[in-house]
Amino acid sequence: MERHHNSVTKTPLDRVQRRSKSKSYRQSLRSCLGATCLTPALTTRRLNISRRAPKSHNITEKVNPEQLALMVKTEWQLSYVTPLYQFRHTQLKSYSRQLSAFIAAEKQQGLAVEVEGSHGSFRVSFSVVQGMSEAADDAETVLIQIHLKRLFSRQDEPAKVVWSGLLTCINGSPDYLRSLPKDFTCLPLLCSSGAEGLTSAVKSWFQQTFDCYFGQLEISHTSLQWMIALWTNCQTESAIQFLKMIWTLPVVPPLKVTYTVNGQDAWELWSSVRKDPQKEGNGEDEDENSIDIEEVMRFMQGLKSHFYRHFRLDLSAGKLDQVSTALGSAKCSGMIKISNSKYMISTLTLLTECALLKMPI
């Protein structure tokens, strides 16, 4: 499995040493391969074994409420994107025109664009979502919307949004971002919502224009478990109300198990598996708030053992397909819905990390 150091997490001494060792390794590798080499080798990346607990970021003030409302109510399909060549945030208007023309051309060629009442004209708008990014290295989030104006509609009737997409990079690994050559912009996460035909049209245009590659981003089993833990951890600030997990067991015919735990009870189980915060060391806030993968595993084990005690059925034999709480839902096929804007940033951070991990280069 690929492993990746997260330099953001502050860790006890020995881990710091490891980090610096790999950093020097990476630097030397880069110098070996020359300045044209794009990124560090895959083997030096490690999956997070410890994360910071999600802070609730009140972004409602910072972000345009319309854009935020869209982000919160939509269920997004995730894809990862390789870095974009010569993407300029200043050229968004020009991109809008180009993409509209491209889609119109595709439609003429007979590309199946199954949008109801697709007899009409498509208009694309690119816009920047201000206020999302925290880290200095992150590129600004871009929102793409495709509007459909029907042929015989009135002048004042607003065009309906039939497709939305979000290109974003939240708290991406600074090492990686800094290692990219000058002309490349890294917006590794694409969240799309709308007809499949339009999604592939947008992707083709991006591929043609910015020499990038799109791939399906599935949310791995471990990431889903992280989400369970991270969301449950928010119980004290915003009630999760319930923790719902859906497993599929590979029997004939397939058996779907929906395990819904009361929110408060889930939180009590979670707090019982947390390690005692260590008062020694620097006493930084981040230490108390860090969550280890072992704690996550213990939490999952607790849930599964309660289930096993009653049904004598081991859920590990099945596949975790979906996780949802009042704060949002995530499916292993790569669908995500963030229902509470406070945790938008933290969830997107995790997803950005997943996207970066999947980068082929």
Among the listed residues 18, 21, 73, 256, the single contact to other proteins using CB under 8 A: 256
- Please give the Cα distance from 29 to 24 (Å, whole number): 8
Closest distance between other proteins and the C-beta of residue 291, in Å? Answer: 17
Q: Tell me the torsion sign for CA atoms 8, 168, 340, 223.
A: negative
Residues between 221 and 250 that touch other proteins (CB under 8 A): 249
Among the listed residues 196, 268, 285, 294, the single contact to other proteins using CB under 8 A: 268
* Site membership for other proteins, residue 319 (CB under 8 A): no
Q: How far is CA 256 from the centre of its chain?
A: 26
Closest distance between other proteins and the C-beta of residue 228, in Å? Answer: 14
Closest distance between other proteins and the C-beta of residue 296, in Å? Answer: 15
* Site membership for other proteins, residue 310 (CB under 8 A): yes
- Please give the Cα distance from 158 to 149 (Å, whole number): 8
Among the listed residues 302, 319, 326, 335, the single contact to other proteins using CB under 8 A: 302
* Site membership for other proteins, residue 312 (CB under 8 A): yes
* Site membership for other proteins, residue 277 (CB under 8 A): no
Give me the DSSP letters along 29-91. HHHHH-TT--S--GGGB---SEEEPPPPP-TTTTS-HHHHHHHHHPEEEEEEEPPEET--GGG
Q: Are 111 and 134 in contact, with CB atoms under 8 Å apart? A: no
* Nearer CB in complex with other proteins: 249/326: 249
| Candidates 133-141, 174-182, 298-306, 333-341; binding stretch for other proteins (CB under 8 A) | 298-306
- Please give the Cα distance from 202 to 26 (Å, whole number): 35
For the chain, the residue count is 361
* Nearer CB in complex with other proteins: 8/293: 293
* Site membership for other proteins, residue 259 (CB under 8 A): yes
From the number of C-beta atoms within 10 Å of its C-beta (0-12, 13-18, 19+), residue 34 rates as exposed
| Candidates 66-74, 210-218, 232-240, 263-271; binding stretch for other proteins (CB under 8 A) | 263-271
Give me the DSSP letters along 195-224. -HHHHHHHHHHHHHHH---EEE-PPPHHHH
Q: Which two tokens stand for residue 65?
A: 């409420």
Among the listed residues 90, 252, 282, 360, the single contact to other proteins using CB under 8 A: 252
* Site membership for other proteins, residue 269 (CB under 8 A): yes
* Nearer CB in complex with other proteins: 253/360: 253
Q: Are 350 and 227 in contact, with CB atoms under 8 Å apart? A: yes
* Site membership for other proteins, residue 306 (CB under 8 A): yes
Closest distance between other proteins and the C-beta of residue 347, in Å? Answer: 24
Of all helices (H) and strands (E), which one includes residue 324? strand 319-325
* Site membership for other proteins, residue 265 (CB under 8 A): yes
| Candidates 114-122, 212-220, 254-262, 352-360; binding stretch for other proteins (CB under 8 A) | 254-262
Residues that bind other proteins (CB under 8 A): 249, 251-262, 265, 268-269, 272-273, 302, 305-307, 309-314, 317-318
